[in-house]
Structure 1
């Protein structure tokens, strides 16, 4: 060593590095369950919003049908659309060449990542999982998981 220069050791010891890694692992382990719950909650909120949007479109279609603004489809129609695609394609307005569209597109289920939904017709039982193909009275998700509150998604 040259005279006038002091020897300084810098850096971290192996023990300090291991302690820091241990603390980071513990923190990461605590954050992962919270992140999973947050992601599931976001999907649930998206599902609720999507179901509400489709149900409002079905209700608006029914209201327009009852008021005579659009023609009822079929003889046994209760004034509900025949399928979800009818809400997207639109129906002709009475005494007009315009088409009324109730949805821009069929929404994608946030859990199944498909635009396929369970449908109930007006003639079906309230808890029925089979669709009578007469009209669309209600929609539900085809995902059979359980929500954070313990309810089944398909019952929403």
Structure 2
């Protein structure tokens, strides 16, 4: 009888213990998923802020170089670049003092909320020309400002195209 009693007590988990464990794991996974999604959105928003800051600083540097005469501009032009691609290309100076071409950005960042990887970086941004009104930004003959093309709202409640 001792041998029978020894074999009837098997080691392992019961069905109830497995169900309780799986239930607890699923509850933990369900609470972790929204947190991971929010962390991903926060990372993209941080990338958007940095990219907008980089492009806007380069636009201001181009305008300053144009106003000081380092970059030639025609009469009546705003002094802003005609396209975003100009910011990454070497710009020949019009003054003899500066012999090195100006390069304002090494590469143009992409809009992190644009989902089409086949588009070039410059096409992922919505452009605003100097002549367009603030409340209705439109592209034109120059690039005064950029913003995201995304219509989604950020975690702060403001649409990305308003940043």
**1:80-91 map, 5 Å:** 80-91=80-91
Distance 1:75 1:153 in 2: 35
Query: 1:118: how far off?
Result: 0.9
Report the aligned-residue RMSD. Answer: 1.9
Structure 2 match to 1:123? 131
Runs ≥4 residues deviating over 3 A: none
Runs (5+) with no aligned partner, structure 2:
none
Which of residues 134, 141, 151 in structure 1 aligns to 2:158? 151
> Conserved in 1, the CA contact under 8 Å of 2:88 and 2:104?
yes
As a proportion of its length, which structure holds more helix? 2
TM-score with structure 1 setting the length:
0.89
Structure 1 match to 2:28? 27
Deviations 1:14-48 (A, max 9, x none): 11111000000000001111111111111011001
Distance 1:122 1:101 in 2: 22
Deviations 1:67-101 (A, max 9, x none): 122212x4321211111011111310122553211
Which of residues 117, 132, 136 in structure 1 aligns to 2:140? 132
Deviations 1:45-72 (A, max 9, x none): 1001000000000001111111122212
TM-score with structure 2 setting the length:
0.85
Structure 1 match to 2:48? 47
